[in-house]
Every structure is written in structure tokens, then in C-alpha cells.
Amino acid sequence: MMTAHDRATGILSIDLDAIADNWRTLAAHAPNAEAAGVVKADGYGLGAAPVARALRKAGCTTFFVATIDEGISLRPHVNDARILVLGGVLPGTGADFIGHQLIPVLNSPEQIGLWSGFAAAGGRPLPAAIHMDSGMNRLGLDETAVELLAADNRRLDGIQPVLVMSHMACADERDHAMNRQQLDRFTVLADRLGVSAPRSLAASSTIFLGADYHFDLIRPGAGLYGINPMPDSPNPLRQTVRLHGKILQVRDVDTPQTVGYGASHRFKSKGRVATIACGYADGLFRSLGNRGFGVIGGVKVPVVGRISMDLITLDVSAVAPAHVHAGALVELIGPDHDVDALAAEAGTIGYEILTSLGRRYLRDYSGGNT
């Protein structure tokens, strides 16, 4: 009988032990702070539930997601942990937050008013994180909103602050002037707010800016999954994923033949092309056309032609024929071609690559007592 591996045209291998090790490594860089785990966007595309279970086993007790639905889905897998929802509370969602023991990150005076109203209706204080904008101009309380809260703390009636937080804009550039500016602004705003609660500023890259940025809780996300948090330095973290696509067909080619839509690649001499059963519907961006790479038998093989929805074509002329046949695997992400390398070829970042990996891949988990 055929197995799932037999049927799979692409295999995404996910090492949960490596993710847990990365969490420990990041936690060790901030020994005086609690280390949370960010598992939004379905664990950066790798599966929030198995990732969170592995992190919980490693000792993580606080998790961040982006939406209330992500929090509801995660709750059964980490019953004894805190789950904070970065997008905050929306009208009509109070009962779900309370029923699933989710903690909203309050980003605006309107959200604070909603949560205070839910607390008043229930007759008991409700936990929440307070998010302040230290320079991103995206989510969070601006200076005017902080001043209003400081001047009238009744606006926080019924709210039990469990965290005061902000987020950095340029932390992956170690020497960027905005890093110190945001640190100083966050400190000033948090002091002005006057709330007695732990503070948090550092996501993955910010952890490496030093102890001044660590405060009471760090929030590693991308770093957990092996993305380099400081692109100008060697990656201190383990790679967590490998992606293989299966060869569907191999053909001999010669000039003046072309390959793929738009005839964007013309062969200059005799060679061989392998067609792989992965495409932009699986997260291999069209921008990789004529510039990406795979690896077969330790040999880098270039993408030739455009990326199609379900297929890519590789020039395998330099690979020994024994390695190139229908059903053989081509490494698209792995030790010889990591997610940051693929992202650079695509003109994007590792975050986007991971979160775009399609659902057609067989997800093959190892470690974490799987």
C-alpha cells in the first residue's frame, strides 16, 4: 500500500527539537527575562500546535498569537500556559476571550474601553497587556493616549495589566539610530503610564542588542524557526526545516529550445532539465524564476524558466544521471540552501518564505516526542 511519503510531491521536514533548542539559545541571551514563544501565523507556517507543544515541554509558559481565532485553536494544546493575542480585542469578542482564557494586547484607547467594559459587565478585573507605540506607527498607544491614561487612571478600571510592551522597527540593523531612540521612548512612555507590570520590548533581533533591551520578557518569533536574527553576523541558531520536491520528469534539451511560460530561458547547448512538482502555489515565489537554486547530490542546480503554479524546472546537466530520475528528491531548503538563502534569491525575507509554504507539502515532524 502506498504511504503518505509515496504520494507526496513535496516534503517539508520540521525539526521540533531544533525549535526548542533555538528557544533555549535565545532565552540564554536574556537570562534575567522570561522567554515567551511567538507562534502566530500557524507557527510561522510550521504548525502552531506541534511547535507550541514542543516549546511548552522545553519550559515556555507564555505564547503570543496574532488573532483570537489563533488563540482559540492553540488553547487545547497548551492548557496551562498564557496566550496573548497581539491584535487585541474587537467588539463582540469579549466572551470568547474570557471563555478561552486569552489575554488581549490592548493597542488603542478604543480597545481599552472595550476591555474595561467587558470587565465591568462581568464584575471582575480582566488581565491585559498594554501596547505602546515607540516609533513603529503601526499598533499601540501614541504619546497622547498615554498622557490621557496617566492623567485619568479610571480609564483602566477593571483591567489588570500583566505586561507593558512595544515593538522595534530596525532591530535587525544593529547600529541603526532608531534602536536607541525606541528604547528611550519606550522607557519614558512606560514610566509615564505608571502601571506596575512587567515590560517587554525584545523580539528575536532585539534580543541581540544587549541587556538594556531585555526588560522582563522577551518575545522570540522568527529566531525560533532558524531565521538569522542578525543578518550581518553568522546565524547562532539551528536550522529547523528541510524542503524537498520530487522530480516528475527529466528531459534532454538543446539549443535553440526554451523552457516554460514566456520562453524566458533559452538553452545554449545540450543539457538536461528536471521538472519538480512544486510551484508558486506552494510558496516558491515567481521571483525565483531564472535565479533560484535547488541541490541534488550535493550539486547546486539553477532554476531555469519561470516558476509555474505547480512546477519548477531545474538545469540538472551537471548532476550524475544516477541522482536524477522521476521520484528523486531535490533539496529546496536545507543545510546547503537554507531559508535565508532562498529568501535572498526571491528578493524577500525568511519570514515570508516560511509563512508561504503551501499546504500541499507533506509535513513530516521529528523530535518533540512526535
Active-site hit among 225, 261, 351, 365: 261
Looking at residue 225, what DSSP letter applies? G
In terms of Cα–Cα distance, which of 220, 221, 226, 223 is closest to 238? Answer: 226
Strand ranges, E, within 228-296: 241-253, 258-259, 265-266, 271-276, 293-296
CB burial string 176-196: b at 16+ within 10 A, e below? eebbeebbebbbebbeebebe
**Whole-number Å distance between alpha carbons of 98 and 86:** 16
Chain Cα centroid distance, residue 46 = 9
Active-site hit among 40, 225, 246, 280: 40
Does 309 show up as a binding residue in the annotation?
Answer: yes
| Terminal-residue alpha carbon distance, the chain | 23
361 tagged catalytic: no
Does 138 show up as a binding residue in the annotation?
Answer: yes
308: phi then psi, degrees, rounded to nearest 5 = -95, 175
SS3 351: helix
40 tagged catalytic: yes
Can you give 331-346 as a three-state secondary structure string? EEEECCECHHHHHHHH
Element (H, E) at 82: strand 82-85
CB burial string 226-244: b at 16+ within 10 A, e below? bbbbbeeeeeebebbbbbb
* Annotated binding-site positions: 138, 309
* Annotated binding-site positions for substrate: 138, 309
Which residues does the annotation mark as catalytic? 40, 261
